[in-house]
Structure 1
């Protein structure tokens, strides 16, 4: 980040959102045609500010423009909640998705993702989380008799030192099974994939193995397996057993051999892990699977600190747009951390920004970087 800037803290935090990219999207989707006041750039700034501050409704978002500083930042003196609602329903989700992906590309660059991919095998974690919706207001999102919901299928790039970030997302109705999204989320042969037993699919495991994708997942304890070979474990290993197996019954058996590890979790429960990777030792593979908790922490962070419990709109497009705005906010916090080499958590970065969004940016940058403010 700039060592000195005349921007406010909020403007500096928001600066990774490319105005050029946004203008291209505006032109491609004709977003500002027949628009007199609520242009996309202003709308995006206002929604991101609302997500950052966990503003609970569009009526409350409209009221935040009472602030002179926010008026200056968004170039809006006022806007009605009904106009905000119409805009949220009209903007194609692909627009916010592209903004999100552009931020992901910037994170890739700052974390040297391409360079790491040539030297090691980056870890990507796949999981999903259900976001409940009101049945009366969201009948399109069928789930159960008493409630509606959507499901966020996510792929998280896992890095050491606490830096993890989403790099691909798929939104479906909550009734959709996780297995159907595995093929969409697995697309890079230079990575190692970790996912839970919700994605258990023997045919898909065969396809991934045949196509050269590596994975480690959890296997149900009642799965039918046949031992082919048992591997020796060192005395200090935390793994209970390590075997090469065939998977499935005679009628529906997987065509490839896999590796079955039995490990104990922190609560004393025995877990069965399956992988198609044989070059790593058993303890390394067990540690890879433990990394899956990073995505659980990501979902917990989003639900606790971003506004995706109460949705501003009732349409599918409005709901999906709000989820992507939430992930944009998360990525902006990641870029703020990376840009200052800060040891602050994303929550601390958010709190410091919310405490003084209109102060000079260099004060905020110094604060999150842990340097004294002159």
Structure 2
């Protein structure tokens, strides 16, 4: 029940304060801090994400006109752009990375019962990265090419609820395939990724962990066909084969059989060749699993459009990482609230509602209650006709 708390305070309350405090103590975030604490920093940056603030000056101006409401938001320190800039520069970004990991785990637990478009009981992960371009003149530390700067956001996305299960921020030149080695494979889970992660030594590690992988084959991959299995060509399938690697170097890295499935998209006519270590799922399901990888592309597009992770309030590596991790925390926190309240509204709609109602003292349930619109096919009595029949 709402006890006079603002929507912002109610939203933040769905994330454990004790967990954030433990993360702050772990990295001594409040060491020698008197007024503007790490929690204040998190709340202000979350406010900036939810209200789409453009700059530190913008944040200061907006919060400066409502000093009496800062207390109800949970902010105890004075908010100035110099104080916030200093906090983003100096407070360890790992505080907010660890807190985001806890929120991600909680969200995945809530969405564990979500149905997938595919009739699969296993957990399905999609692994990919997206480059966030930066201005080379403002972020020289992020240079990865002669005239380009940027960072990579590597994400392992749980398709049940589109919740990140793993996130890592690296330089723009970091090779994608190295991220695959950092994952702790879950037995029985399915990992879907593109050719950028194709490393047979890493694939063997997934196979030994009893995890399933689905990826695309490179065009120059040398193999030997051992068996061919019948397929229904009317579905777009071309073949379903059991193969073995033939080049000595790659065969040494993956010395066991692979399954190769070729699928031709009926709409575009484009052919795709998939590799997997699973020999039980139908061949068409393998093709559909890889098609589901498109959801992580939509995830990257969504967060770049609706969160502040393309324009930054600070220029240092610590400030950039801090802003990204707090943005991820906000995304996951709204997803948690959406599930706990049982609302059917999309995350985009929830963010739009919050952006204009953060200081309202009503319950989240009331704010997120969608009105029931009804349509009628009967013309209005005073409606004029555009054309004579």
TM-score (norm 1): 0.91
Q: Number of residues paired by the alignment?
A: 363
Distance 1:207 1:110, change over 3 A: closer
Tell me, what secondary structure is at the counterpart of 1:143? strand
State the alpha-carbon separation in 2 of the partners of residues 49 and 239 from structure 1: 50
Shift of 1:222: 2.6
Which residue among 204, 207, 216 is the counterpart of 2:205? 207
Distance 1:128 1:21, change over 3 A: same
Moved over 6 A (4+): none
Mapped contact 1:17–1:99 kept (Cα < 8 A): no
Equivalent residue, structure 1, for 2:169: 171
State the alpha-carbon separation in 2 of the partners of residues 300 and 324 from structure 1: 17
Q: Which structure has the bigger radius of gyration? A: 2
Shift of 1:127: 0.4
Tell me, what secondary structure is at the counterpart of 2:70? helix
Q: How does 1:25-174 map to 2 (within 5 A)?
A: 25-68=23-66, 70-72=69-71, 73-76=73-76, 78-112=78-112, 120-159=121-160, 163-174=161-172
Distance 1:353 1:217, change over 3 A: same
- Bigger Cα displacement from structure 2, 325-334 vs 50-59: 50-59
Residue 325 (structure 1) aligned with residue 326 (structure 2):
yes
Equivalent residue, structure 1, for 2:386: none
Shift of 1:317: 1.3
State the alpha-carbon separation in 2 of the partners of residues 139 and 184 from structure 1: 27
Which stretches in structure 1 are left out of the alignment for 5+ residues?
none
* Superposed CA offset, 1:56-80 (max 9, x none): 2222222221242652314357422
Distance 1:113 1:321, change over 3 A: farther
Which stretches in structure 2 are left out of the alignment for 5+ residues?
373-389
Distance 1:133 1:193, change over 3 A: same
State the alpha-carbon separation in 2 of the partners of residues 178 and 28 from structure 1: 30
State the alpha-carbon separation in 2 of the partners of residues 122 and 251 from structure 1: 32
Q: How does 1:297-316 map to 2 (within 5 A)?
A: 297-316=298-317
State the alpha-carbon separation in 2 of the partners of residues 248 and 97 from structure 1: 43
Mapped contact 2:9–2:74 kept (Cα < 8 A): no
State the alpha-carbon separation in 1 of the partners of residues 178 and 305 from structure 2: 28
Equivalent residue, structure 2, for 1:240: 238
State the alpha-carbon separation in 2 of the partners of residues 77 and 318 from structure 1: 19
State the alpha-carbon separation in 1 of the partners of residues 357 and 94 from structure 2: 32
TM-score (norm 2): 0.87
Shift of 1:121: 1.2
Q: RMSD in angstroms over aligned alpha carbons? A: 2.2
